[in-house]
Copies of this chain bind each other. A is one copy, B any other.
Amino acid sequence: MEARTFTFAHPPQKMCLESGATLGPVTIAYETYGALNAEGSNAVLICHALTGDAHVAGNNGAGNRPGWWDTMVGPGKGIDTEKYFVICSNILGGCMGSTGPCSINPETGRPYGLSFPLVTIGDMVKAQNALIDHLKIERLLAVVGGSVGGMQVLEWCVRYPQMVVSAILLATTMRHSAQAIAFNEVARQAIMADPNWKGGDYYQGPKPDLGLAVARMIGHITYLSDKSMSFKFGRKLQDKSDFSFNFEADFQVESYLRHQGKKFVERFDANSFLYITRAADYFDLKRQHGQGSAAKAFSCSQARFLVVSYTSDWLYPTLQSRAIVTAMKKNGLKASFCEIDSTLGHDAFLLPDKRLSPLIKGFLEKALP
């Protein structure tokens, strides 16, 4: 594993964003695994979800933190780093090394905060594309991602169709439903309600940790399923035999959520949470690339697709994956679809699963020239 950064759009150049705003210089933090072959035909780009980062596999030098998809990516694994040159970068707007709202604005010498321009999924992919150019890779054997990472994969396929040989989409959607937007909006409101947020200008003082923790807890409920929560927690009490009759965490599920909230604020920037959820809410493949038609959006694509959904994913339910496949098929594209029976909810795509690894392994092997 090699962790590096790449900076582009140096002054006087700037990156043009979908909103019309410009941004620069732009740094993208990325990691690579394995080696690019002589033909440059074995590159696999992995796009991370909302709160992920470039560290997709292996253990980091610092802290020995395992990668967020270490169960899938590595020697001999579903995405085999002995066969493929795997690249994963932190998204634009993120807070794990790539330029985002917590980065220093070179024009003021202070963190951007809310002066950071709104970035879209398209902008994130455009920045990834600059990185791929920099790595001198002409075509990607596969672009892979789940959830908000899957949105980036979709964007790659329609924005740079000639560069994508194959694509793997997990637990994703062409656009958020009203309910998905609603959950994100409430999470954002929780952050902005925290007085430490200070209009996004909190980098010199205390952070809006309480608001961000609530935002994370809201998210967590949507990542699990009613069934998995019943199975995992039910109404079990936390280290006690009866109710406390106060507002302590009596139920295990309460204590789990509080813990998730607390852990999250140590590693994530509240403004990045705002920007990335907003980008996900704005994402609308039909509207942005198909003049309202999903089929039209894929009209230039040449990739082979693997689309995977999970039965208990109620954030991006199977119906939404089926709609993606239907749009692909209307263009005569090769698209395999698999709905995995799981009680684990949306999070299932991140968890070890004995069905997913061989599925991805087989799909990638067929894609190899």
Interface residues of A (CB under 8 A from B): 19-21, 114, 117-118, 175-179, 181-183, 185-186, 188-190, 192-195, 210-211, 213-214, 217-218, 221, 224, 226, 229-230, 232-235, 243, 245-247, 249, 251, 253-254, 257-258, 261, 274, 278, 281-282, 284, 314
Contact = CB atoms under 8 A, between A and B. Distances in A.
B229 A217 contact: no
A181 B235 contact: yes
A186 B221 contact: yes
A187 to B, nearest CB: 9
26 contacts: A20-B245, A21-B245, A114-B246, A177-B226, A178-B234, A178-B235, A178-B251, A179-B230, A181-B235, A181-B253, A182-B253, A182-B254, A182-B257, A186-B214, A186-B221, A186-B257, A188-B247, A189-B217, A189-B258, A190-B190, A190-B193, A190-B214, A193-B210, A214-B214, A247-B274, A247-B278
A183 to B, nearest CB: 6
Nearest to A251: B181
Contacts of A243: 19, 118, 282
Contacts of A251: 178, 181, 185, 281
B235 A175 contact: yes
A193 B211 CA distance: 7
B179 A229 contact: yes
Q: Is the interface of A mostly helix, strand, loop or mixed?
A: helix
Contacts of A185: 217, 249, 251, 253-254, 257-258
A251 B182 CA distance: 9
Contacts of A118: 243, 245-246
A178 B233 contact: yes
Nearest to A196: B195
A179 to B, nearest CB: 5
A117 B281 CA distance: 42
Nearest to A190: B214
A186 B247 contact: no
